[in-house]
Amino acid sequence: MEDKDIVFKTNQSCFVYRVAAIIIKDNRLLMAKHEDYPCYYTVGGKVRINETSEEAVIRESYEETGIEFEIDRLSFIQERFFQIAGKHHHEIVFFYLMKYIDGINILDATYTDQGEKEILQWIPIDELEHINIVPNFLKTNLTKINENIIHIISKE
């Protein structure tokens, strides 16, 4: 049986269990951007049934970058509540700081596994405040990454 993404939908709501990779090199954060969306977002995706969040973030990072990153540590857990077209969304997202591999170079405007609709972009961390990114908390919390896990609840 093929493993399925952990997503539960009803007529009025949707729940998703996700992971996100925080990939930093030279004080720049690797973000993805789809041509149909106005914002940048982290590399990552849905966790599958019978998959740990660690396995998922390694798989998702590889699928989107072609690189097998290793995990440094879990940095943030976000409970995110938002609405799209009147439908309630609830996400649980585990954000992992990844170890950047010396000698590997991901160029700006590299296409992800989404084809020619999604690119990867290095965003200077000190410019995040002026850029439309999701999740918004990364604008101020990247400088607070330490050994502690930060729990964030976002009601948008």
CATH for 144: 3.90.79.10
pLDDT at 2: 59
Over the stretch 12-54, which tens digit does the pLDDT of each residue have?
899 999 999 999 999 999 999 988 888 999 999 999 999 999 9
What is the percentage of the chain residues whose pLDDT exceeds 90? 67
Residues 6 or more apart whose CB falls under 8 angstroms from that of 52 comprise none
SS3 assignment, position 138: helix
Q: Which two tokens stand for residue 83?
A: 């609405």
Q: What is the DSSP string of 67-121?
A: ---EEEEEEEEEEEEEEETTEEEEEEEEEEEEEPPTT--PPTTEE-TTGGGEEEE
> Where does the pLDDT of residue 1 fall: very low under 50, low under 70, confident under 90, or very high at 90 and above?
very low
In-domain check, residue 2: no
Over the stretch 47-81, which tens digit does the pLDDT of each residue have?
999 999 999 999 999 999 888 899 999 999 999 99
Least confident of 25-29, 54-58, 101-105, 124-128: 101-105
SS3 assignment, position 143: helix
In-domain check, residue 140: yes
Structural domain total, the chain: 1
Domain range holding 14?
Answer: 7-155
Phi and psi at 101, nearest 5°, equal -95, 115
